[in-house]
Structure formats: structure tokens, C-alpha cells
Structure 1
Amino acid sequence: MTTATPKAPFVSSAPKLGLVGGFDGIRGIGVCMVLVGHAMFTYVESWVTIVDTFFVLSGFLITTLLLQEHRSTGDIGLRKFYARRAMRLLPSVWLFCAVWIVIGILGTILGIESISLRGILEDAGAAVAYVYALVFPNGLYMISPNVQDDRYMWHLWTLSVEEFFYFIVPATVLICIRRNWIKQLAWILGIGFAAIGIARFFAFTGFWQDDEGMIAGVRLAFLQRPDALMLGCLIAVLNAQVTPERIARLRKPIIWVATISLVVWLVMLNLSSGLVEKLGGPWVPYLPDGPAEFNRPDMLDTMYWFRFGHTIGALAFGFILLGLVHCKDWWLSRFWSLSPFQWLGRMSYTLYVWHALPYLLLIGALGGEEAPLGQQIIRLPILVGAAFLVSLPVYYLVEMRVLRMKLRFSAEKEALDLTTGKMVQVDQGVAAPSSAGAPQGPPQPAPPPAPPVAPPAPQHHD
């Protein structure tokens, strides 16, 4: 009787990722789109495609780095992984929630009706527990507009989606590596991405979506776009099985496909844009306007953008991502790698978390959500300037210090210093500039800022 020989663990064949300047660049461009989108959402609704972009990027980076860590060290250090994530994500969000609570207390003492300490505490609790997308999900205004109206941290739903991803993916990848189930994992991810895209096309927003007693995040689960994270993981798994030699042979086709995908991605960004509609261009509505229209028969009668835009936008960026990774001299790679974009990308997380504070306080004082287009354009630089004014001290005085400490938990000897954008040697918790000078090691990515994905409630932008 013979005993079956266990399969050897999977080992990635892909080139080491290194520093991809275009990744920071798209983060920087993306957070600028967030600032504009939250200031005048009704005119740039389909810019929500950028959140699919960042989810694809996050899924790809995290999965690729886990595969590379296993190849370099023979294992995946889950404790170090979660330590890095905690140090990257928690300080800024906790401080943001604390500031809002102080504002809520002051508002209550001063009797300011528009500031509800109860609503702030509800938001803060959901945010720090990373269940925001479950209790106050994107698209909430369609089923519970009154609940959406009381939100103060509406944008933090994206961080809770990624946190669930961080809990699930590392252990899953480790198991699949050890048992050599990488191909099976790819099939599961691919089927999951396709299934959610098809479900949305047929106007399914989630599970039990007609059950008013069901948790809002379950009813609107597909609008939280877990499929974009699945796609990013899938691309990383497929990329890990391609050798450098084969990539070199495929370089021209990659550039051609990525360029065509860029055009598709740009179209998706603007196909539900109020500005394009005003100019007489093609336009489709983004989502139903409220509970009266939130039913499958009515949604099937209207080709809403959400039915196809998220899926196509995510898929298009997946091909762009491969161009950025493997074709550093591609014109888009060079453009997105410009220093200003990379600087914005490094502080994008801080801007994303903190911009909501001045926006919420200023928009009501400057004409509100329904202000005419001209007034929205005039107040835009005021809002953006206020966002930077609030975010810069947090970035330099809080996040920069924490990011230096984060290097102590690097899984490899060379890591990306997010405070400088350069590779450094990590030796027993002390970081020194990389002797290679050029970016050769895998970066530890900051979570991409995620932009708005739903039209704003009357008092708050999503």
C-alpha cells in the first residue's frame, strides 16, 4: 500500500514587486477625486469607480506581499501582519472619532441641534469596531434616508470593508500556500467576482434585500463591492504564477490592453456625471433616489450605473494595474509616478479620514447640499483647503511617527518607509536606508483611500 506524497507548498514565480510609483500616484489622484466628489457629488456621481480601483489595488498588494513573504521567509507572520495593519489604520481613526466626540459634547452643552452626540457616538462605535459597512452601509439613503441623515462619519464604511478583508485573507492565503490550493483559490475568487457582478446587473443589491427587518449591510452587501477586493486577490494569485521571462515576452500586449482599459475606466468614471449630462454627453442614473424606487422590478426597468459600472470599472483597472507593475516606462506609469502625486498618495489615508470633519461643518454654512453649481465650484477650493489644513498636522505629528514605528514589524529585511517613499533595510527594529538605492523590496502598502460610493444624504456627502 502506497501513501500519497503531500504536495509541496506553492512558491510564487513572479518578480519581486518593489516600489511601484504609480500606485502612490493613483492614491494621490484618487484622494483628490474624493475631495472634489464629496464637495459636489451630484455632478460627479460615477467617480465612485475610484473606490473599486482602490479595492482592487488593496487586494492585489496585500495578497502579493503575503506570497512574497512566504517565498522569502518560508512562512507568513500573522502577528506581524496584524500589528502593521493596526499601526497603520487605528491611530488616525481613533483620534478622528475622539475629536468628533468632543465636538458632540460641546454641541450638546451649547444646544446646537445639528450636532447630535448620540449620532456621533453611534458612528464612532461602528467605526472603531469596523462594522460601519454593516450597520451604516453605502446606499443606506435608498432604504433608510432618515438614518443616513444622522451620519457624521459616513465615509468610514470603506475602512470596515477592508478590515474584514484583512481578517480573512492572510490566513486563507497561508492555508492555500501550504496545501498548494492556489489554483482552487483562483477559481473561487474568479467565480465570486463574476457572481456578484452578474447579481448587480440583475438589480440584486445584496441578500434578502426586500426584508425591511434585515440588517442594512446585508441588504446592500453587493454595493460595498467585496468583488473588487476579490479581483485584486485573483490578479495577485495569477501574477504569482508568471515568470519574469514570460512577462518580458508579454510586455507589448500588456501595454496595449492596459491602454484600452484606461479608456474604458475613464468612461466608467464619467458615465453617471451630472457635468457630462449638462454638456449633452451620455448619462445614466447612478442609483435609485429613495425607498419608493428601491425594488427590483423598477430597478430592472432602468439601466442604473451601479448595475454595470462597478464591475467594468474594477475589471478595467485590473488590467491598468498590471501595466503599472510590469511596464514602468509606460507613459501612464511615469505620469502617475510624478512626485506631487506620490506625496499626495502617501498622505491620502489621512486626507480621506479627516476631510469629512471640515466638509460637514462648512458645507451647511456655505449653501448646503443643494447649492447651485456655480456656488459649489466657488466653495470647492475653500473645502479642499480646509481638508489639508486639518489633515497636515495629523499626518506629520501623528501618522509619520507611527509609520516609523511600523517598520519594527516588517516581515522582511527590506521594506518601504511610508514616511519617505524609499526602501530601507530593517534590522531588529532599526531602519536604515537601503544600500541598493533603487526600490527592490516589497512595499508594505498603506490602505488606499476609498472614495464615496453613494450619493450623499441631504446633510452629509458619501
Structure 2
Amino acid sequence: MARSGRVSGLDGLRTVAVALVLVYHVSPDMLPGGSVAVDLFFTISGFVITRLLLAEYARTGGVALLPFYRRRWLRLVPALLALCAVCAILSATTSLWSFDNSLPAAGLSALFLVNVVRATESGPYGDMMGPLAHTWSLGVEEQFYLFWPLVLLVLLRYARARTVLLCTAALCALPVLWRFALWQPDAVHRIYNGTDTRADQLLAGALVAVVLARLRADDPRLAVLRTWAGRLAWPALGLLALAAWRMPVTAGAGPWTACWYTVGFLLVAALSATLVTALELRPAQGLSRLLSLTPLTWVGRNLSYGIYLWHYPVVRLLASLGMTDGLLPATAVLTVLLALLSYYAIEAPSLRRARRPAPVPAL
């Protein structure tokens, strides 16, 4: 059942997730747990990437790793470099406090190392990453993309389908055990920013892709999975919304903090994986139809990455200009405008290049 086509509901879910992140960074008191949207992004990414890799393997009997890495580079890096350049220029040419010392942060962000630096901090986060602090999540994803295709390819070549599934499930459990081993109150930054400690959220999406690829269309287990995914989709979304509304994920919350930083990430991954499964298997269900509305899918497909890139620098820019009233709508409007510019001037041309075959060097 390995397929690679887009799931419209997932694009709509991306729009919802990036909106939550934007609101969280502008008004954290409104959504103290809004960062769970980043966890949701991780699971979606793990599913989409693994689904593409499995479809290529089913079609060709292998995975062309260099073209894969080239496509990921063209998809993510040009727009990120543009953001880093703007932040560095504003740091060098203005006195805006929110862009002070952005040049080192731009270099770390361009190399997808912000999460590594943040993981070493103790106490409250410093401001060394400035307007690019949010790119820690891109570091986690890119580091995962670097290793997971290699691991998956080895499994596909040398293991049976059942073993691939069991190994993926086992890999999901390892970060949880590692978080328990690491846990202490001053290890929250290490756990929150580490690729090794957040990999279960990406692998949960990968596991969904592996399960669905293993089940044939006439397999009765697929029908059971479709039924239960449909039943649990709304409750899963409701629990994620409750966490975003009430759970102060990145703040000290007593015993809740220890629970969240050990098993909580896996629970969010399980809820996210349930949503992903339902959107894949139940496209005619009410939730899928809602998230497949054209405005949501278009924004999720074309602008969600740009919105994520630009929203945090915009928040800091407006704050450094002294704006308080109307900060949320102003941030949303300016961010969307910059995301549109990023998409049409940078991302769309890069995507067209990514879809073209890489040139073969002459012998």
C-alpha cells in the first residue's frame, strides 16, 4: 500500500499547527502549551518523509539518497538562508535590540545547529540565538533526515517487512528510555532540544507510514485500523487542543514537568500519529473534509514553512519597535506577507529545481 501522493488533510493540519505556534510566540498566556504544535509537525514530517522513501523503494527497489538530500536541501535551505541574511543585515545596520548579535545565530541556524547550542544551556534560555531561536526545530528535523533514510534503507534491504515494522516500533521506545535516564530538572533544555530525545515524535509518524505500507488494501487489519483511527481522531485532536490551551509545556509546572519531559512527548506523538492515520485512511470523514478546505490546504502546502520561518523574527521586530496593541494581528499580517514573498521568490523556484532530475556529470 506504499503511496506518495499528498494528503490534503495533512496540509490543512499544518496550517492549524503553524497558527498555534504563531499565537504561542505572540501571546503565550493565551496558549501556554502552544508548542505542542511543533511536536505535531515532527510527527507529520516523519510520516511524510518515510512515506516518500517507502514509495520510492516499492517503485524502484532502492532509495536514491543523494537526490533525496538534494531535494530536502532545495526545499528548506534557500528560504532559511534568506531569513538568516535578513536577520544578519538588520543586526549590522540597525539598533533594534531584537536583532543584536544575530550574525553568529545566523551561522548556527544555516548549519541546523541551533538545537545543539540550546541543548547545552542551563537555567533560562539566553538570547544568543535571538530572532532565530525557533529554528531549533529545523535542526532536529534535518538531523533526523540525515540518519533515518540510511537506517530505513538498511532495514528494507536486509530485513523482512515485519522486522522493519518491529524495529521502527523499538526505535520509538528508545528516546523515552533515554529521557528517563537523563531526567533531572536542569536537563529540560537538553531533553527538549535534542534530536535523540525527540526522535520518537518523528519516528511515530514513520511507524504509521511503515504500518500502512505493510497492509494490503484487502487486509482486514487495515479495515480495523481505519475504523479505530476514525473513532479516535476527534478525541486525539481534542486532547492536543487541551494541551495547547492549558499545559505550560516549556515552563516549570511541578510534577507535570517531569511527566511531560519523559512520557509526555510520546503521548503527544501517539495522539499526532492517530490524527495522521485518520487523515490518511478516512479522507471522507468530517475532520478530513474540514482540514481539506482549499484555503487551509493551500496555506499548509505553500506557506506553512515560510510562516514558521518568519513569524518569530516578526514578533521580535514589532516588539523592539514598541508595539503592544494589536501585536497579534500585526504579526499575522506581516508574517503572511513575508511568507508569500518567500514562497514566490525563493521556495517555488527551488521546488521546481528539486523536481528536475539532478544533472549527471560527464565521463
- TM-score, reference length from structure 1: 0.70
| Candidates 41, 53, 62, aligned match of 1:54 | 41
1:338–1:268 CA distance, 2 compared to 1 (3 A): same
Q: Report the residue type matching 1:23 in the other structure.
A: L
Distance in structure 1 (CA, Å) of the matches to 2:128 and 2:332: 23
Distance in structure 2 (CA, Å) of the matches to 1:173 and 1:101: 38
Which residue is 1:128 aligned to?
Answer: 110
The answer to whether 1:357 aligns with 2:313 is: yes
Q: How far off is 1:390 after superposition?
A: 2.2
Which residue is 1:387 aligned to?
Answer: 335
Which consecutive residues of structure 2, in runs of 5 or more, have no partner in the other structure? none
Which residue is 2:236 aligned to?
Answer: 261
Q: How far off is 1:164 after superposition?
A: 0.7
C-alpha contact (below 8 Å) 2:169/2:207 kept by paired residues: yes
Which consecutive residues of structure 1, in runs of 5 or more, have no partner in the other structure? 1-13, 211-215, 273-284, 294-298, 369-374, 411-427, 430-462
Q: How far off is 1:201 after superposition?
A: 6.8
User: 1:275-294, aligned counterparts within 5 Å?
Assistant: 285-289=248-252
Distance in structure 2 (CA, Å) of the matches to 1:100 and 1:62: 29
Which residue is 2:353 aligned to?
Answer: 405
The answer to whether 1:114 aligns with 2:97 is: yes
Distance in structure 1 (CA, Å) of the matches to 2:285 and 2:256: 42
Which residue is 2:148 aligned to?
Answer: 169
Distance in structure 2 (CA, Å) of the matches to 1:23 and 1:219: 24
1:365–1:219 CA distance, 2 compared to 1 (3 A): closer
Larger mean Cα displacement after TM superposition, 159-168 or 249-258: 249-258
Larger mean Cα displacement after TM superposition, 190-199 or 62-71: 190-199
Q: How far off is 1:384 after superposition?
A: 0.9
Per-residue CA deviations over 1:240-274 (Å, capped at 9, x if unaligned) read: 211111234653333113333233333333231xx
Q: How far off is 1:116 after superposition?
A: 5.8
1:93–1:239 CA distance, 2 compared to 1 (3 A): same
1:263–1:115 CA distance, 2 compared to 1 (3 A): closer
Between Structure 1 and Structure 2, the one with more helix by share is 2
- The alignment-based identity, stated in percent, is 28
1:288–1:350 CA distance, 2 compared to 1 (3 A): closer
C-alpha contact (below 8 Å) 1:358/1:390 kept by paired residues: no
Distance in structure 2 (CA, Å) of the matches to 1:312 and 1:219: 15
Q: Secondary structure at the match of 1:130?
A: coil
| Candidates 72, 75, 85, aligned match of 1:88 | 75
Larger mean Cα displacement after TM superposition, 86-95 or 30-39: 30-39
Per-residue CA deviations over 1:344-375 (Å, capped at 9, x if unaligned) read: 1021111111222221110233466xxxxxx5
Q: How far off is 1:146 after superposition?
A: 6.1
Distance in structure 1 (CA, Å) of the matches to 2:3 and 2:23: 35
| Candidates 316, 327, 332, aligned match of 2:271 | 316
1:133–1:229 CA distance, 2 compared to 1 (3 A): same
Q: Secondary structure at the match of 1:47?
A: coil
1:392–1:224 CA distance, 2 compared to 1 (3 A): farther
Q: How far off is 1:238 after superposition?
A: 1.9
Distance in structure 1 (CA, Å) of the matches to 2:65 and 2:206: 17
Which residue is 2:137 aligned to?
Answer: 158
- TM-score, reference length from structure 2: 0.87
Which residue is 2:5 aligned to?
Answer: 18
Q: How far off is 1:185 after superposition?
A: 4.2
Distance in structure 2 (CA, Å) of the matches to 1:56 and 1:314: 6
Q: Secondary structure at the match of 1:225?
A: helix
Q: How far off is 1:326 after superposition?
A: 1.1
C-alpha contact (below 8 Å) 1:83/1:409 kept by paired residues: no
1:150–1:230 CA distance, 2 compared to 1 (3 A): closer
1:254–1:391 CA distance, 2 compared to 1 (3 A): closer
Q: Report the residue type matching 1:84 in the other structure.
A: R
Q: How far off is 1:322 after superposition?
A: 0.9
Q: How far off is 1:217 after superposition?
A: 4.4
Q: Report the residue type matching 1:48 in the other structure.
A: S
User: 1:166-315, aligned counterparts within 5 Å?
Assistant: 166-180=145-159, 182-197=161-176, 200=179, 204=183, 209=187, 217=190, 221=194, 225-246=198-219, 247-248=222-223, 250-272=225-247, 285-289=248-252, 300=255, 305-315=260-270
C-alpha contact (below 8 Å) 1:268/1:309 kept by paired residues: no
C-alpha contact (below 8 Å) 2:96/2:320 kept by paired residues: no
Q: Report the residue type matching 1:244 in the other structure.
A: A
RMSD: 3.1
Distance in structure 1 (CA, Å) of the matches to 2:313 and 2:251: 27
The answer to whether 1:100 aligns with 2:83 is: no
Q: Report the residue type matching 1:324 in the other structure.
A: L
Q: Secondary structure at the match of 1:286?
A: coil
